[in-house]
Amino acid sequence: MQVVFLGLPGAGKGTQAVSIAEEFRIPHIATGDMFREAQAAKTPLGKEVQEYLDRGLLVPDELTIRLVRHRLGQPDARHGFLLDGFPRTLPQAKALDDMLAEENLALTHVLYLEVSQAELLQRLTGRRVCSACGANYHVTLHQPRIEGTCDRCGSALIQRPDDRPEPVTVRLQENLERTGMLAEFYEARGLLGKIDGEGPIGHVYDEIRRALRGDHS
Ligand code: AMP
């Protein structure tokens, strides 16, 4: 099972991917999380990508592809994976095809979580994340039990620098056209499944699960 989640920032890819990866027992590979971890650990990669992340700009393809190639080469990704936030450009999509073809593999599902722009703006600027475990919350749509504190690990919730209104606008613009092109790229290959990402989290989850199981009832 080689799965890609497509969708604009804030479409719910991360939230859904965590549970889907757990249920289907495949690693959840999120390039945004990997870049943020590198940044927090102040690795050379982290320093190189800092500026892009803070401003909401895409990291250059060459760097991103190298990171994903390395990650997909790890033993836990041999029997499937769920990619979240990659590919984001056509060169990345083509590089992914090549990486998989080298292992005689191909993508099995590409699911596009569709959400309107207005809803995305509201979701992103209200998003809060756990500073330790990365769990997602929202100031009105998904509040933690104790304000400012993660339900899962008790650590402080923060706002990602790129979830402030200005970088959010840049990120949406950066991704809008590219995501549309990627959707067309995968649709032309008969791989694309569209998911209405606007409903309640549990409802969207059921739709994704049905699509992955090939159950169209
Ligand atoms: P995300 O958590 O997916 O919204 O990603 C956060 C940031 O990481 C993006 O705004 C980009 O700066 C960077 N990033 C994540 N994935 C990619 C990718 N596939 N290509 C380029 N940049 C990426």
- Confirm if 4 and 87 have CB atoms less than 8 A apart: yes
Scanning the structure block, which residue is given the tokens 């943020």?
A: 36
Active-site hit among 36, 123, 127, 128:
127
Domain holding 147: CATH number?
3.40.50.300
Phi, psi of 127 (to 5 degrees): -70, 140
Query: Residue 173 pLDDT > 90, yes or no?
Result: no
66 classed as catalytic: no
Coil, strand, or helix at residue 184?
helix
Nearest Cα residue to atom 6 of ligand 1 = 32
> Which residues are within 8 A (CB) of 201 and not within 5 positions of it... i.e. 6 or more apart?
12, 15, 16, 142
Region of residue 86 (phi > 0: left; psi between -120 and 50: alpha; otherwise: beta): beta
Total domain count for the chain?
A: 1
Q: Is the CB of 175 under 6 A from ligand 1?
A: no
Q: Is the CB of 160 under 6 A from ligand 1?
A: no
- Confirm if 120 and 19 have CB atoms less than 8 A apart: no
Q: With bands split at pLDDT 50, 70 and 90, how would you rate the model's confidence at 215?
A: low
Q: Is the CB of 35 under 6 A from ligand 1?
A: yes
Distance 160 CA to ligand 1 centre (A): 13
Q: With bands split at pLDDT 50, 70 and 90, how would you rate the model's confidence at 15?
A: confident
Q: What is the DSSP letter of 149?
A: B
Q: Is the CB of 186 under 6 A from ligand 1?
A: no
- pLDDT score of 134: 83
Report pLDDT digits (tens) over 40-53.
Answer: 999 999 999 999 99
What percentage of the chain has pLDDT greater than the value 90? Answer: 78
Nearest Cα residue to atom 2 of ligand 1 = 32
Q: With bands split at pLDDT 50, 70 and 90, how would you rate the model's confidence at 133?
A: confident
Where in the sequence is the domain holding 31, given as residue range(s)?
2-213
